[in-house]
Every structure is written in C-alpha cells, then in structure tokens.
Amino acid sequence: MENGRIKNIKRQILSDNWYTLNKYTFEYQKFDGSWEVQKRESYDCGDGAAVLLYNTRKGTVVLTRQFRMPTYVNENTDGMMVEVCAGLLDGLTPKECILKEILEETGYQLTEVKQVLVTYMCPGSVTQKLYLFIGEYQDAMKVESGGGADDETENIEVLEMPFENALQMMVSGAIRDAKTVMLLQYAQINKLIEVNS
C-alpha cells in the first residue's frame, strides 16, 4: 500500500464466521491538507474469477441460474439469479480457478480462456477483485452434467441460450448480475457473436 494520504491503519475483525468482516480505523488527509479519522467496514470473501462461455457458430452463450440469498432479502422476489459461471480462487490462479469452475458448474471442459478485465465489484465495502474471462465452447466439450460441486451446497441450473436472448434479458432486467452484464456487453462491443439487426 503506497498512499501517503493514509496513515495509522488499525484493523479489527468483527466476524469471520463465513468470510471476514473487518473494521478499519485510519487517518485520511483531505484535499485541504487537514487530517481526519475515518472508520470503514470491509468484507473479505477472497478474489474470484468469472467467464462468459460463447459459441460463435451457434450464436449461443452458456449461463447459470441459482438462488442467491442476499438478493432475496433485497427485493429479488424469488432470489434466483442468471449469471456467468464464477467462483473463488481458493489458492488457484484465476485461469486455473475458472477452468475448474467451468467443469463443475456447466460440465464443459475447456483448456483455454482469455482474461479480458479485472474489476472491483463493490469497492466501497468489499475487497474482492474479480478476474473476468471469455471462453469459446463447442458441444463436444460437454463431458459432465454440471450443476456445481456437491460439497459446496450448490444447486446450479445450466442455461444455453442464443446470445440475442441474453442481451434482451439484460435489457429487461431478467439478468441483473453485474459481472454477467459486463461480460455480455464486452461480447457485444467486441462482436464475439454476430447479432441480427
């Protein structure tokens, strides 16, 4: 950390029941040169990786649908979210992680993916960096049923759909997950799949 406008950082762990909730107290130098004490809480759930699987010949993408409790308690009536495949690094490199997650969640076995972005998804309260990838899949790469790892209490539905449908779901609000919106927009901007006008 190399910001000369921050000093005397103190950390207090508030909870480490699932991941780690920290409280930071620090001095911050304002634009006028004066110093003030600030307090912030941040949630550390580890860095992660996500991937948009796409098939240029078929014009399709593979997404997932699963229940997300935090959205359920914040006005997502059924708690279900349509998302790109994703997971926590858990000591792996971003590429190793996402290749493992692709197989576990979707059943496709890819050997190559391309990293296109690195983002802080909620920088005001969450420390997580998310490495975003794209990966081209073929039908022959489907070697398992997917659905998530048994030991991770995942219950994931695999969705293959036309890219145009995914874009329409994003516009209509049926897809509201930020990483998924970013990767769908990346694919659209970079014309990974031709869209009929």
111-145 per-position pLDDT tens digit: 999 999 999 999 999 999 999 999 999 999 999 88
Q: What is the mean pLDDT of residues 84-90?
A: 97
- Determine the Cα–Cα distance for residues 142 and 155; give it in Å rounded to an integer: 18
Residue 27 has pLDDT above 80, yes or no: yes
Let me know if residue 196 belongs to a domain. no
pLDDT at 148: 76
For the annotated binding site, the residues are 86, 101, 105, 154
What secondary structure letter does DSSP report for 88?
Answer: E
Q: Are 93 and 188 within 8 A, CB to CB?
A: no
pLDDT at 197: 56
pLDDT at 151: 67
- Domain co-membership, 113 together with 39: no
Residue 196 has pLDDT above 80, yes or no: no
- Domain co-membership, 61 together with 14: no
Q: What is the distance, to the nearest Å, from the Cα of residue 57 to the centroid of all Cα atoms in its chain?
A: 26
- Domain co-membership, 10 together with 95: no
pLDDT at 72: 94
Q: Which residues contact 43 (CB under 8 A, 6 or more apart)?
A: 19, 20, 21, 22, 125, 126, 127
- Domain co-membership, 74 together with 123: yes
Range of the domain at 36: 6-44
Q: Choose among 184, 180, 179, 183: nearest CA to 163.
A: 184
Residue 153 has pLDDT above 70, yes or no: no
CATH code of the domain containing 68: 3.90.79.10
**Backbone φ and ψ of 18, nearest 5°:** -120, -65
Q: Choose among 153, 148, 21: nearest CA to 83.
A: 148
- Determine the Cα–Cα distance for residues 175 and 161; give it in Å rounded to an integer: 13
pLDDT at 152: 64
| Tokens 């107290």, residue located | 25
- Domain co-membership, 26 together with 59: no
Give tens-digit pLDDT for 35-72. Answer: 999 999 999 999 999 999 999 999 999 999 999 999 99
- Determine the Cα–Cα distance for residues 95 and 64; give it in Å rounded to an integer: 19
pLDDT at 150: 67
For the annotated binding site for Mg(2+), the residues are 86, 101, 105, 154
- Domain co-membership, 15 together with 72: no
Q: How many domains does the chain have?
A: 2
- Domain co-membership, 35 together with 98: no
Residue 157 has pLDDT above 90, yes or no: yes
Alpha-carbon torsion angle 135, 140, 145, 150, nearest 10: -50
- Domain co-membership, 75 together with 168: yes
Let me know if residue 194 belongs to a domain. no
Let me know if residue 11 belongs to a domain. yes
Give tens-digit pLDDT for 167-194. Answer: 999 999 999 999 999 999 999 999 999 8
Residue 33 has pLDDT above 60, yes or no: yes
